[in-house]
Amino acid sequence: MTLVQEQIEDIVTGVSISPKPEGLSAILQPGCAAAIWKRRPLSRFQTWIDGLEPDNLPKARITIPPGNVGDAVEKICDVCGTPDCAERNMLIDDASALAAIFNDILPTSHLQLRFDVVTTNACRKFHVDVVTARLVCTYRGSGTQYGLSTDGPEPIHVNTVPTGSAMLLRGKLWPEKPNSGLLHRSPPIEGTGETRLLLVLDPVTEPECSTAEVIVY
Ligand SMILES: [Fe+2]
């Protein structure tokens, strides 16, 4: 079975959903605004990450070559006090693998990696990011919401990326025009007590500095 046959068109035009990582390469196809690698993490991993104290979740920003993501995430986990265990290694390996997949699809000298811990309605307005492309994976909490709107600020139908799935989105700087009208936002969670952990990878063509300094915030 070919990759194309395995892809499932979402009800949102221009969003390709696949159960395999190779499906993320659909982002290169004309008219594809976003591609999702739909997956469900192992329950032991999900239980572990859901049970961590928010203060011990990795939270940082760093610009590094894609091949250095594993080492960088390990360092971030050390700084943030993320307990060293098999599940932590899964997280490190997964972030590293997502960076490698991203770099295979859209080769770049450096990536900006962010681990965001979110407890508010951050980025609650539907928008398109000012980047060429962005990979987002919500490891804990509700996933990114998305929908199509070509003539208004809000999509009528809103979909949610499953927790643990990876979404590769085109941004405003993607060369193909016009934009598809696909918008996304962080889910509104303020007041719910929910804590989200988000991995964000952006390609960086001209890194501001070549040092692998981890900014923990
Ligand atoms: Fe965004």
Ligand 1 centre and the CA of 146: distance in Å? Answer: 10
Ligand 1 centre and the CA of 112: distance in Å? Answer: 14
118's tokens:
């979110």
Ligand 1 centre and the CA of 123: distance in Å? Answer: 7
Nearest to 129 by CA among 208, 182, 63, 52: 182
Ligand 1 centre and the CA of 127: distance in Å? Answer: 6
CATH number of the domain within which 127 lies: 2.60.120
| Residues, beta carbon < 5 Å, ion ligand 1 | 129
Tens of pLDDT, residues 25-77? 999 999 899 999 999 999 999 999 999 999 999 999 999 999 999 999 999 99
Sheet-wide strand order for 133-140 = 8-9, 15-18, 34-37, 166-170, 133-140, 196-204, 110-118, 60-64, 215-216
**If you average pLDDT over residues 135-156, what whole number do you get?**
91
Ligand 1 centre and the CA of 161: distance in Å? Answer: 13
**What band does 178 get if pLDDT is binned at 50, 70 and 90?**
confident
- Strand runs labelled E in 82-217: 110-118, 133-140, 145-148, 159-160, 166-170, 182-185, 196-204, 215-216
Query: Is residue 5 over pLDDT 50?
Result: no
Ligand 1 centre and the CA of 185: distance in Å? Answer: 6
Ligand 1 centre and the CA of 192: distance in Å? Answer: 21
107 in any annotated domain:
yes
Q: Quick one: pLDDT at residue 4? A: 33
Going by their DSSP bridges, the two strands 133-140 and 196-204 should be labelled as antiparallel
10 in any annotated domain:
no
Percent of the chain past pLDDT 70, that is, above it, reads 88
Q: Quick one: pLDDT at residue 184? A: 94
**What band does 119 get if pLDDT is binned at 50, 70 and 90?**
confident
153 contact partners, CB below 8 Å, separation of at least 6 = 125, 126
Q: Where are the alpha helices (DSSP H) in the chain?
A: 3-6, 43-51, 69-80, 86-105
89's tokens:
């290694």
Number of domains the chain contains? 1
Ligand 1 centre and the CA of 72: distance in Å? Answer: 23
Q: Quick one: pLDDT at residue 1? A: 29
Ligand 1 centre and the CA of 86: distance in Å? Answer: 31
Query: Is residue 121 over pLDDT 80?
Result: no
Q: Quick one: pLDDT at residue 115? A: 98
136 in any annotated domain:
yes
Three-state SS letters, 35-80: EEECCCCCHHHHHHHHHCCHHHCCCEEEEECHHHHHHHHHHHHHHH
Taking the C-alpha atoms of residue 48 and residue 137, their distance in angstroms, rounded to an integer, is 17
175 in any annotated domain:
yes
Q: Quick one: pLDDT at residue 193? A: 87
33 in any annotated domain:
no
19 in any annotated domain:
no
Query: Is residue 189 over pLDDT 60?
Result: yes
Query: Is residue 11 over pLDDT 70?
Result: no
22 in any annotated domain:
no
Percent of the chain past pLDDT 90, that is, above it, reads 74
Ligand 1 centre and the CA of 84: distance in Å? Answer: 30
200's tokens:
């964000």
Ligand 1 centre and the CA of 170: distance in Å? Answer: 10
167 in any annotated domain:
yes
Query: Is residue 197 over pLDDT 50?
Result: yes
**If you average pLDDT over residues 75-84, what whole number do you get?**
97
**What band does 2 get if pLDDT is binned at 50, 70 and 90?**
very low
Domain containing residue 103? 42-216
134's tokens:
């962005």
Q: Quick one: pLDDT at residue 6? A: 38
Ligand 1 centre and the CA of 211: distance in Å? Answer: 26
